[in-house]
Amino acid sequence: MRIDWWTLGLQTINVLILVAILARFLFRPVIAIMDERRAAAAKMLGDAEAERAKAIAAREAAEAESGKIAASRDAVLREAAEAASAEREAALATAREEADQVRASAETEMRWARAAEESAASDRSARLAIDVARKLVARLPDSARVDGFIDGLARALASLPEASRDGFGAGERARLIAPRPLTAAELQAAHDAFARALGRPVDFAVVVEPAVIAGLEIETPHAVVRNSFRQDLKRIVEELTRHDGVHR
Protein backbone atom coordinates (compact mmCIF):
# COMPACT_ATOMS: atom_id res chain seq x y z
CA MET A 1 0.00 0.00 0.00
CA ARG A 2 1.34 3.37 -1.02
CA ILE A 3 0.76 6.31 1.34
CA ASP A 4 0.10 9.69 -0.19
CA TRP A 5 1.72 11.98 2.30
CA TRP A 6 0.35 15.10 0.64
CA THR A 7 -3.15 13.87 0.89
CA LEU A 8 -2.59 12.83 4.50
CA GLY A 9 -1.07 16.17 5.23
CA LEU A 10 -3.98 18.03 3.64
CA GLN A 11 -6.48 15.90 5.52
CA THR A 12 -4.64 16.56 8.73
CA ILE A 13 -4.69 20.28 7.99
CA ASN A 14 -8.42 20.03 7.24
CA VAL A 15 -9.00 18.25 10.54
CA LEU A 16 -7.04 20.86 12.44
CA ILE A 17 -8.96 23.63 10.71
CA LEU A 18 -12.25 21.87 11.49
CA VAL A 19 -11.25 21.44 15.12
CA ALA A 20 -10.27 25.09 15.29
CA ILE A 21 -13.58 26.12 13.74
CA LEU A 22 -15.53 23.87 16.07
CA ALA A 23 -13.55 25.07 19.05
CA ARG A 24 -14.18 28.67 18.12
CA PHE A 25 -17.79 28.55 17.04
CA LEU A 26 -19.21 25.50 18.88
CA PHE A 27 -17.23 24.40 21.93
CA ARG A 28 -16.55 27.86 23.35
CA PRO A 29 -20.19 29.01 23.17
CA VAL A 30 -21.33 25.71 24.58
CA ILE A 31 -18.76 25.91 27.36
CA ALA A 32 -19.75 29.52 28.00
CA ILE A 33 -23.42 28.53 28.12
CA MET A 34 -22.59 25.67 30.45
CA ASP A 35 -20.55 28.03 32.65
CA GLU A 36 -23.40 30.51 32.69
CA ARG A 37 -25.87 27.78 33.55
CA ARG A 38 -23.53 26.39 36.19
CA ALA A 39 -23.14 29.91 37.67
CA ALA A 40 -26.90 30.43 37.49
CA ALA A 41 -27.45 27.09 39.14
CA ALA A 42 -24.88 27.93 41.82
CA LYS A 43 -26.57 31.30 42.35
CA MET A 44 -29.95 29.62 42.56
CA LEU A 45 -28.54 27.12 45.05
CA GLY A 46 -26.99 29.97 47.05
CA ASP A 47 -30.26 31.92 46.99
CA ALA A 48 -32.15 28.79 47.94
CA GLU A 49 -29.73 28.14 50.79
CA ALA A 50 -30.09 31.76 51.94
CA GLU A 51 -33.86 31.51 51.77
CA ARG A 52 -33.68 28.22 53.65
CA ALA A 53 -31.53 29.86 56.31
CA LYS A 54 -33.97 32.75 56.52
CA ALA A 55 -36.86 30.31 56.79
CA ILE A 56 -35.07 28.38 59.54
CA ALA A 57 -34.29 31.63 61.37
CA ALA A 58 -37.90 32.81 60.96
CA ARG A 59 -39.17 29.43 62.21
CA GLU A 60 -36.84 29.58 65.21
CA ALA A 61 -37.91 33.18 65.92
CA ALA A 62 -41.55 32.15 65.61
CA GLU A 63 -40.98 29.23 67.94
CA ALA A 64 -39.20 31.50 70.43
CA GLU A 65 -41.99 34.07 70.21
CA SER A 66 -44.55 31.30 70.57
CA GLY A 67 -42.70 30.13 73.68
CA LYS A 68 -42.72 33.65 75.06
CA ILE A 69 -46.43 33.99 74.30
CA ALA A 70 -47.15 30.63 75.93
CA ALA A 71 -45.09 31.60 78.99
CA SER A 72 -46.83 34.99 79.17
CA ARG A 73 -50.21 33.33 78.77
CA ASP A 74 -49.39 30.85 81.53
CA ALA A 75 -48.24 33.70 83.78
CA VAL A 76 -51.41 35.67 83.06
CA LEU A 77 -53.58 32.62 83.69
CA ARG A 78 -51.70 31.87 86.91
CA GLU A 79 -52.04 35.48 88.12
CA ALA A 80 -55.72 35.46 87.17
CA ALA A 81 -56.24 32.20 89.06
CA GLU A 82 -54.40 33.57 92.10
CA ALA A 83 -56.41 36.82 91.96
CA ALA A 84 -59.66 34.88 91.61
CA SER A 85 -58.69 32.66 94.53
CA ALA A 86 -57.82 35.71 96.67
CA GLU A 87 -61.10 37.40 95.73
CA ARG A 88 -63.01 34.21 96.49
CA GLU A 89 -61.33 33.91 99.89
CA ALA A 90 -62.01 37.59 100.59
CA ALA A 91 -65.64 37.18 99.54
CA LEU A 92 -65.98 34.09 101.73
CA ALA A 93 -64.39 35.93 104.67
CA THR A 94 -66.72 38.89 104.14
CA ALA A 95 -69.71 36.57 103.88
CA ARG A 96 -68.69 34.76 107.07
CA GLU A 97 -68.18 38.08 108.86
CA GLU A 98 -71.55 39.37 107.67
CA ALA A 99 -73.20 36.10 108.70
CA ASP A 100 -71.58 36.37 112.14
CA GLN A 101 -72.79 39.95 112.44
CA VAL A 102 -76.31 38.98 111.36
CA ARG A 103 -76.31 36.09 113.82
CA ALA A 104 -74.98 38.28 116.62
CA SER A 105 -77.53 40.98 115.78
CA ALA A 106 -80.32 38.41 115.73
CA GLU A 107 -79.18 37.03 119.09
CA THR A 108 -79.02 40.57 120.50
CA GLU A 109 -82.47 41.34 119.12
CA MET A 110 -83.80 38.16 120.69
CA ARG A 111 -82.24 39.08 124.04
CA TRP A 112 -83.69 42.58 123.78
CA ALA A 113 -87.08 41.18 122.83
CA ARG A 114 -87.03 38.77 125.78
CA ALA A 115 -85.84 41.53 128.10
CA ALA A 116 -88.49 43.92 126.77
CA GLU A 117 -91.16 41.25 127.18
CA GLU A 118 -90.00 40.53 130.72
CA SER A 119 -89.87 44.26 131.40
CA ALA A 120 -93.39 44.75 130.07
CA ALA A 121 -94.63 41.82 132.14
CA SER A 122 -92.88 43.24 135.20
CA ASP A 123 -94.39 46.66 134.52
CA ARG A 124 -97.86 45.19 134.19
CA SER A 125 -97.40 43.24 137.41
CA ALA A 126 -96.08 46.30 139.24
CA ARG A 127 -98.89 48.55 138.05
CA LEU A 128 -101.46 45.89 138.90
CA ALA A 129 -99.98 45.63 142.39
CA ILE A 130 -100.06 49.44 142.72
CA ASP A 131 -103.67 49.57 141.55
CA VAL A 132 -104.58 46.95 144.12
CA ALA A 133 -102.71 48.87 146.83
CA ARG A 134 -104.40 52.13 145.79
CA LYS A 135 -107.83 50.52 146.00
CA LEU A 136 -107.03 49.04 149.42
CA VAL A 137 -105.79 52.39 150.77
CA ALA A 138 -108.88 54.10 149.39
CA ARG A 139 -110.92 51.93 151.77
CA LEU A 140 -109.21 53.42 154.83
CA PRO A 141 -111.26 55.67 157.09
CA ASP A 142 -111.16 59.34 156.10
CA SER A 143 -109.35 60.26 159.30
CA ALA A 144 -106.53 57.82 158.57
CA ARG A 145 -106.03 59.38 155.16
CA VAL A 146 -104.92 62.70 156.71
CA ASP A 147 -104.19 62.55 160.46
CA GLY A 148 -101.17 60.29 160.26
CA PHE A 149 -99.47 62.42 157.57
CA ILE A 150 -99.51 65.89 159.18
CA ASP A 151 -96.52 65.28 161.47
CA GLY A 152 -94.61 63.51 158.69
CA LEU A 153 -95.04 66.52 156.39
CA ALA A 154 -93.95 68.84 159.22
CA ARG A 155 -90.78 66.78 159.73
CA ALA A 156 -90.07 66.98 155.99
CA LEU A 157 -90.40 70.79 156.19
CA ALA A 158 -88.04 70.89 159.17
CA SER A 159 -85.45 68.83 157.29
CA LEU A 160 -85.22 71.35 154.45
CA PRO A 161 -81.93 73.25 154.10
CA GLU A 162 -81.93 76.41 156.20
CA ALA A 163 -82.15 78.76 153.20
CA SER A 164 -85.05 76.80 151.72
CA ARG A 165 -86.76 76.53 155.09
CA ASP A 166 -86.47 80.28 155.77
CA GLY A 167 -87.86 81.16 152.34
CA PHE A 168 -90.63 78.55 152.25
CA GLY A 169 -93.99 80.34 152.09
CA ALA A 170 -92.44 83.71 153.03
CA GLY A 171 -94.31 86.47 151.25
CA GLU A 172 -96.41 83.99 149.26
CA ARG A 173 -99.32 81.75 150.00
CA ALA A 174 -98.66 78.01 149.91
CA ARG A 175 -101.01 75.30 148.64
CA LEU A 176 -101.76 72.37 150.95
CA ILE A 177 -102.94 69.49 148.74
CA ALA A 178 -105.13 66.90 150.47
CA PRO A 179 -107.15 63.89 149.28
CA ARG A 180 -110.32 65.36 150.81
CA PRO A 181 -111.44 68.55 152.57
CA LEU A 182 -109.81 68.98 155.98
CA THR A 183 -111.77 69.23 159.19
CA ALA A 184 -111.27 72.26 161.43
CA ALA A 185 -109.20 70.16 163.84
CA GLU A 186 -107.00 68.81 161.03
CA LEU A 187 -106.55 72.31 159.64
CA GLN A 188 -105.50 73.66 163.04
CA ALA A 189 -103.18 70.70 163.62
CA ALA A 190 -101.51 71.39 160.23
CA HIS A 191 -101.03 75.12 161.05
CA ASP A 192 -99.49 74.27 164.43
CA ALA A 193 -97.19 71.52 163.09
CA PHE A 194 -95.92 73.62 160.16
CA ALA A 195 -95.31 76.63 162.44
CA ARG A 196 -93.22 74.49 164.76
CA ALA A 197 -91.26 73.04 161.85
CA LEU A 198 -90.47 76.43 160.26
CA GLY A 199 -90.36 78.54 163.42
CA ARG A 200 -93.09 80.84 162.08
CA PRO A 201 -96.68 80.59 160.88
CA VAL A 202 -97.31 79.55 157.29
CA ASP A 203 -100.30 80.78 155.32
CA PHE A 204 -101.72 78.16 153.00
CA ALA A 205 -104.87 77.32 151.10
CA VAL A 206 -106.24 73.78 151.03
CA VAL A 207 -106.63 72.22 147.58
CA VAL A 208 -108.44 68.89 147.28
CA GLU A 209 -107.00 66.31 144.87
CA PRO A 210 -108.41 62.77 145.32
CA ALA A 211 -105.42 61.44 143.33
CA VAL A 212 -103.29 62.06 146.43
CA ILE A 213 -105.16 59.02 147.88
CA ALA A 214 -103.79 59.56 151.38
CA GLY A 215 -101.36 62.06 152.88
CA LEU A 216 -100.55 65.72 152.31
CA GLU A 217 -98.41 67.77 149.94
CA ILE A 218 -97.49 71.42 150.35
CA GLU A 219 -96.06 73.55 147.60
CA THR A 220 -95.08 77.10 146.74
CA PRO A 221 -94.02 78.50 143.36
CA HIS A 222 -90.43 77.69 144.33
CA ALA A 223 -90.58 74.50 146.45
CA VAL A 224 -92.64 71.33 146.95
CA VAL A 225 -92.68 69.00 149.96
CA ARG A 226 -94.66 65.78 149.78
CA ASN A 227 -95.75 63.19 152.32
CA SER A 228 -98.45 61.35 150.43
CA PHE A 229 -99.36 57.91 149.30
CA ARG A 230 -99.44 59.24 145.73
CA GLN A 231 -95.77 60.16 146.00
CA ASP A 232 -94.91 56.83 147.65
CA LEU A 233 -96.72 54.91 144.91
CA LYS A 234 -94.99 56.96 142.23
CA ARG A 235 -91.60 56.17 143.75
CA ILE A 236 -92.50 52.48 144.07
CA VAL A 237 -93.65 52.34 140.44
CA GLU A 238 -90.40 53.99 139.31
CA GLU A 239 -88.36 51.47 141.26
CA LEU A 240 -90.37 48.47 140.07
CA THR A 241 -90.42 49.56 136.43
CA ARG A 242 -86.77 50.55 136.24
CA HIS A 243 -84.90 47.94 134.18
CA ASP A 244 -81.26 48.86 134.15
CA GLY A 245 -80.32 45.82 132.05
CA VAL A 246 -82.56 46.76 129.10
CA HIS A 247 -80.77 49.24 126.86
CA ARG A 248 -80.50 49.58 123.17
Structural domain spans, the chain: 1-139, 140-240
- For the chain, residues with pLDDT lower than 50 are 246-248
pLDDT at residue 217, rounded to an integer: 96
What pLDDT sits at residue 201? 93
pLDDT score of 59: 82
State residue 127's pLDDT score. 66
CB atoms within 10 A of CB 154: 23
* Residue-level pLDDT at 125: 63
How far apart are alpha carbons 78 and 72 in whole angstroms? 10
Radius of gyration of the chain (CA): 65
- Sheet-wide strand order for 224-228: 204-208, 174-178, 215-219, 224-228
Per-residue model confidence (pLDDT) at position 126? 57
> Angle at Cα 85 formed by Cα 83 and Cα 90, nearest 5°?
95
pTM of the model: 0.47
pLDDT for position 248: 43
Please give the single-letter amino acid code of residue 150: I
Number of other CB atoms surrounding residue 214 within 10 Å: 23
Q: Which amino acid is at 127?
A: R
Q: Give Cα 211 to chain centroid, integer Å.
A: 51
